[in-house]
């Protein structure tokens, strides 16, 4: 039985639709013989939404393979990003973190597919529309989370601190925060507030990983075929969804607040894993950075 239209409409519009794009990329990645990450639930989401029901979920459905700017190169980028951030979160729990907050979680299924130790809680924050669709698909698939899972519907442009506290988040326990594919779409003011909120709620031993575009892309990069492919084939105009106004220096701000911060290029991880996207002319990934921060040994507040 198809998912009710009322539950699929919200995930098809605006920035929510990008969650389906990433899910399709993860579905394809899952079936690659050299997969960087596997997410068996991803194709359930893609198939359940009319907007994406005919998108590929397997490499065999991508005739151009790696030469396809969308499902080849960008798709591989999402696979690499997923792997790098999976590893980062698992490293955080190895240091004792048992509380995870995924900001702009979209169709992220880490609560279901990673090997969380007992006692882990994963808070997933996104809009009510995305989370309702996600829940319906998870229920239909009979998916059972490995960690305690707490979805929270809020708009991250608003003040979301109290809602997270009300949802059972503990500010005295160390937290692994993740903002994967989110800050690109948020206004600068919302990013500044998000960083300040994360900092305020982070006990000693907390970590934060996020993705940004360091600077606005040049006209040459904006003409990269990946953007036209997303617009024409998927109905996703990434260039109009990105907030291209000057970005805050969140890495610098975190450092000023006492965090230890490491800014990495995705290509560092291509080298690390021996596979993944490589630089190209007018590269739409050239200014992407993955930032890994930790509170280090600062005192518990
Ligand atoms: N992190 C997920 C992943 O990597 O698969 C989803 C990434 S998707 C590109 C962006 C997500 O951010 C969408 O699910 C969207 O609904 C969410 N998002 C964007 N702006 C938001 C906001 N203001 N409040 C809550 N969620 C937001």
CATH code, 10: 3.40.50.150
Instruction: Report the pLDDT value the prediction gives residue 10, as an integer from 0 to 100.
Output: 81
> Is residue 90 domain-resident?
yes
> Is residue 74 domain-resident?
yes
Main-chain dihedrals φ then ψ at residue 122, nearest 5 degrees? -115, 115
Mean pLDDT of 269-298: 93
Q: How many Å apart are CA 60 and CA 172, to the nearest integer?
A: 48
Q: Residue 265 burial (CB < 10 Å; 0-12/13-18/19+)?
A: middle
Q: How many Å apart are CA 208 and CA 164, to the nearest integer?
A: 16
Mean pLDDT over each residue of the chain, to the nearest integer: 95
Cβ 181 under 6 angstroms from ligand 1: yes
For the cut 80, the answer to whether the pLDDT of residue 298 exceeds it is no
Note whether 209 and 289 are within 8 A (CB): no
Supply 193's token pair.
């507030």
For residue 300, name the pLDDT band (cuts at 50, 70, 90): very low
Cβ 108 under 6 angstroms from ligand 1: yes
- Taking only the tens place, the pLDDT of each residue in 168-189 is 999 999 999 999 999 999 999 9
Q: Residue 111 burial (CB < 10 Å; 0-12/13-18/19+)?
A: buried
Rounded to the nearest whole angstrom, what is the distance from the C-alpha of residue 178 to the centroid of ligand 1? 11
Cβ 111 under 6 angstroms from ligand 1: no
For the cut 80, the answer to whether the pLDDT of residue 2 exceeds it is no
Q: How many Å apart are CA 181 and CA 19, to the nearest integer?
A: 9
Ligand 1 atom with the smallest distance to the CA of 18 is 9
* Residue 294, strand partner residues: 207, 260
Note whether 160 and 137 are within 8 A (CB): no
Mean pLDDT of 57-66: 95
- Taking only the tens place, the pLDDT of each residue in 26-40 is 999 999 999 999 999
Instruction: Report the pLDDT value the prediction gives residue 297, as an integer from 0 to 100.
Output: 57
What sign does the CA torsion over 222, 225, 231, 236 have? negative
Rounded to the nearest whole angstrom, what is the distance from the C-alpha of residue 78 to the centroid of ligand 1? 14
> Is residue 118 domain-resident?
yes
Residue with CA at minimum distance from ligand 1 atom 6:
106
Cβ 157 under 6 angstroms from ligand 1: yes
For the cut 60, the answer to whether the pLDDT of residue 12 exceeds it is yes
Rounded to the nearest whole angstrom, what is the distance from the C-alpha of residue 210 to the centroid of ligand 1? 12
* Residue 293, strand partner residues: 208, 261
Closest listed residue to residue 56, CA positions, set 18, 26, 28: 28
Considering its fold, how many domains does the chain have in total?
A: 1
> Is residue 301 domain-resident?
no
Supply 208's token pair.
């934060």
> Is residue 130 domain-resident?
yes
> Is residue 49 domain-resident?
yes
- Taking only the tens place, the pLDDT of each residue in 62-98 is 989 999 999 999 999 999 999 999 999 999 999 999 9
How far does CA 60 lie from the centroid of its chain?
25
Instruction: Report the pLDDT value the prediction gives residue 299, as an integer from 0 to 100.
Output: 43
Buried b (16+ CB within 10 A) or exposed e, 276-294: bbeeeeebbbbebebbbbb
| pTM for this model (two decimals) | 0.96
Q: What percent of the chain has pLDDT over 70?
A: 98
Mean pLDDT of 30-59: 97
For the cut 50, the answer to whether the pLDDT of residue 301 exceeds it is no
> Is residue 300 domain-resident?
no
> Is residue 104 domain-resident?
yes
Instruction: Report the pLDDT value the prediction gives residue 11, as an integer from 0 to 100.
Output: 86
State which residues form the domain around 28: 5-294
Closest listed residue to residue 28, CA positions, set 19, 11, 12, 40: 40
Note whether 30 and 40 are within 8 A (CB): yes
Q: How many Å apart are CA 193 and CA 133, to the nearest integer?
A: 27
């Amino acid at each position: 039985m198809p998912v009710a239209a009322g539950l699929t409409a919200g995930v098809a519009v605006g920035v929510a639709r990008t969650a389906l794009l990433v899910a399709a990329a993860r579905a394809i990645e899952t079936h690659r013989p050299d997969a960087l990450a596997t997410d068996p639930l991803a194709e359930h989401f893609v198939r359940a939404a009319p907007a994406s029901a005919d998108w590929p979920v397997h490499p065999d459905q991508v005739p151009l393979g790696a030469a396809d700017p969308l499902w080849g190169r960008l798709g591989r980028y999402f696979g690499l990003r997923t792997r790098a951030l999976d590893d980062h979160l698992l490293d955080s729990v190895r240091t004792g973190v048992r509380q995870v907050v995924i900001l702009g979680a979209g169709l992220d299924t880490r609560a279901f597919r990673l090997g969380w130790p007992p006692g882990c809680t994963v808070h997933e924050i996104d809009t009510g529309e995305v989370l309702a669709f996600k829940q319906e698909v998870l229920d239909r698939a009979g998916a059972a989370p490995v960690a305690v899972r707490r979805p929270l519907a809020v708009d991250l442009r608003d003040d979301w601190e109290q809602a997270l506290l009300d949802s059972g988040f503990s500010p005295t326990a160390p937290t692994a925060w993740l903002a994967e594919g989110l800050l690109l779409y948020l206004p600068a003011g919302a990013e500044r507030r998000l960083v300040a909120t994360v900092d305020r709620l982070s006990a000693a031993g907390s970590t934060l990983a996020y993705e940004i575009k360091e600077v606005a892309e040049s006209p040459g990069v904006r003409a990269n075929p990946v953007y036209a492919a997303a617009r024409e084939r998927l109905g996703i105009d990434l260039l109009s969804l990105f907030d291209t106004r000057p970005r805050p220096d969140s890495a610098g701000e975190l450092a000023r607040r006492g965090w230890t911060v490491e800014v990495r290029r995705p290509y560092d991880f291509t080298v690390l894993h021996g596979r993944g996207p490589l630089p190209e002319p007018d590269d739409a990934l050239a200014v992407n950075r993955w930032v890994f921060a930790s509170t280090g040994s600062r005192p518990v507040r």
